Each structure stands twice: as C-alpha cells, then as structure tokens.
Structure 1
Amino acid sequence: MASTSVSRVVPATAERVWSLIGGFHALPDWLPYIPESTALEGGSVRRLRNPEGDVIVERLVNANDQERHYSYAILEAPFPVTGYLSTLRVFEIPGKPDSAEIVWSGRFVPQGVSDAEAVELFTGIYHDGLEALHKTLVG
C-alpha cells in the first residue's frame, strides 16, 4: 500500500473553507478538473466527469462537519490503483483566525505502476487541487 498527503495554508477562516469544500458534491465549485458531479444513491455516491470525459465514481465513507473532514473511496476511475481511500480535512490555525490549513491525503495499492509513480500521480492531483482552492478563495 502506498500513501501521500499534501497540505496548504489559505487566507480564509476554516468555516469559510469548509463551507466551500465540505459538501461531498462541491468539487465543481472549486476544482476546475472536475466540472461535473452527479449525486447517486441518495447522495452517498458521486459520479464525476473531467474535461476529457473520463468518469470517476466515488463513495462517501464518512463525514464530520463538526470536525471538518470527509473520507471517500474510489469505485471506478481511470487511475492505476485499487483500494483507494482519501480524506479531505480543514484545520483552524491557532492564533491565525483568518487562515486555515487544508490536508488532502490518500492511500492506495498501485496496479501496473510503481509505488513511486502512483504517489507522484496523487501528490500532483492533491497539490493542483489545493492550488485551485487557494485561487478560488482569493478570487
């Protein structure tokens, strides 16, 4: 099993960040790579489509609005991994009420690629996603 984690501090309160990213179907609101999210199975599954038309299907595993995090598993995707589980978290920064830290982490079993290649892929996805989030927040 391989894993990776990326964090980013943004100039916004944890509440503001969570209000933007905390909804399981909110990816199109802040992640240009995912312009479409369709709720399935009463909202516990999301069917995502990227600009190239690839489909990614993910299931919400757990969520906690109070603690500002949710975890999800990939059910179907064009990625060379299985057993994918990821968590998106927002933390308050003590002494900095107008800043928050976002941590996006995941673990997975590479299939047909090395651990390093799979880690590089998801590290890039998380990094680019958090960069897009920062741009959305600062306008």
Structure 2
Amino acid sequence: MATAQAFIDTPVDADRVWQLIGGFDALPDWLPFIPESALSQGGRVRTLKSVDGDTIIERLLDFNEARRSYSYTILTGPAPVRDYQSTLCVVAQGSGARVQWSGSFVPQGISDAEATALFAGIYEDGLAALKQQLEA
C-alpha cells in the first residue's frame, strides 16, 4: 500500500475554511480541475467530472463536522489504483488553519513511487488552488 499527503497553512479561520470545503459536494467550489459534482444515495456518493472529461465516483466513508473532516473512497475512476481511501480535514491553528489531504491506495500497473507522486501532485495542486482562493 502506498500513501500520499499534503497540507497548507492559511491565516483564514478554520470554521470559514470548513464552510468552503466541508461539504461532500463542494469540490467544484474550490478545486479547479473538478468543475462538476452530483450527489446520490442520500448524499453518500458523489459523481465528479474532471476538466479532462473523466468521471470519478466516490463514496463517503466518514463525516465528522466537529472535527472538520471527511473520508471517502474511489469506487470508479481513471486513476491506476485500487483500495483508495482519503481524508480531507481542517485543523485550527491559532486564528488560522491547516488543511490536510491524505490518502492510501494500492497501485495498479504503476510503481508505488509513481502512484504516490500522482496523488501528492493532485493534493498539492488542489490545496494550492484552495489557498489562493482563501487568501484572495
């Protein structure tokens, strides 16, 4: 099993950050490479469309409003991995926040290092876009 993680620190209040990113259907609000999201199965499954036209279907595994975090798994998508599980969380840091995005997965047809680099890049690019939006 391979893992990847990334984080950003922002002077923006943790509750305000969570308001933007905390909804399971909120990716299009802050993640530029996911312009579409639709919920199904009572809000537990989201169907995402990427800017490249790919469809990714993910299931919510855990949602914790008090801890400002949720975890999910990819059911189907173009990524060359299986058993993907990821967590996105916002942690208060003084008057600001740290946003952490991490995941674990089993590479399929690529090395652990390639899979780790793929998801680390997704997390880093996504969080950089979030930071730019929050601090604009």
TM-score, normalised via structure 1 length: 0.96
Partner of 1:25: 25
Partner of 2:69: 69
Write the mapping of 1:49-68 to structure 2, written as runs, cut at 5 A.
Answer: 49-68=49-68
Structure 1 CA distance for aligned equivalents of residues 3 and 112 of structure 2: 9
- Determine if the alignment matches structure 1 residue 130 to structure 2 residue 127: yes
Q: Which 5+ residue runs of structure 1 have no aligned equivalent?
A: none
Helix, strand or coil at the partner of 2:20: helix
Deviations 1:47-89 (A, max 9, x none): 0001111000000000100010000000001000000000001
- Determine if the alignment matches structure 1 residue 8 to structure 2 residue 8: yes
Structure 2 CA distance for aligned equivalents of residues 30 and 66 of structure 1: 21
The amino acid across from 1:113 in the alignment is I
Q: Tell me how far 1:40 sits from its aligned partner.
A: 1.1
- Determine if the alignment matches structure 1 residue 113 to structure 2 residue 126: no
Write the mapping of 1:82-97 to structure 2, written as runs, cut at 5 A.
Answer: 82-93=82-93, 96-97=94-95
TM-score, normalised via structure 2 length: 0.98
Cα RMSD after superposing both structures? 0.6
Q: Which 5+ residue runs of structure 2 have no aligned equivalent?
A: none
Partner of 2:39: 39
Q: Tell me how far 1:11 sits from its aligned partner.
A: 2.0
Partner of 1:101: 98
The amino acid across from 2:130 in the alignment is L
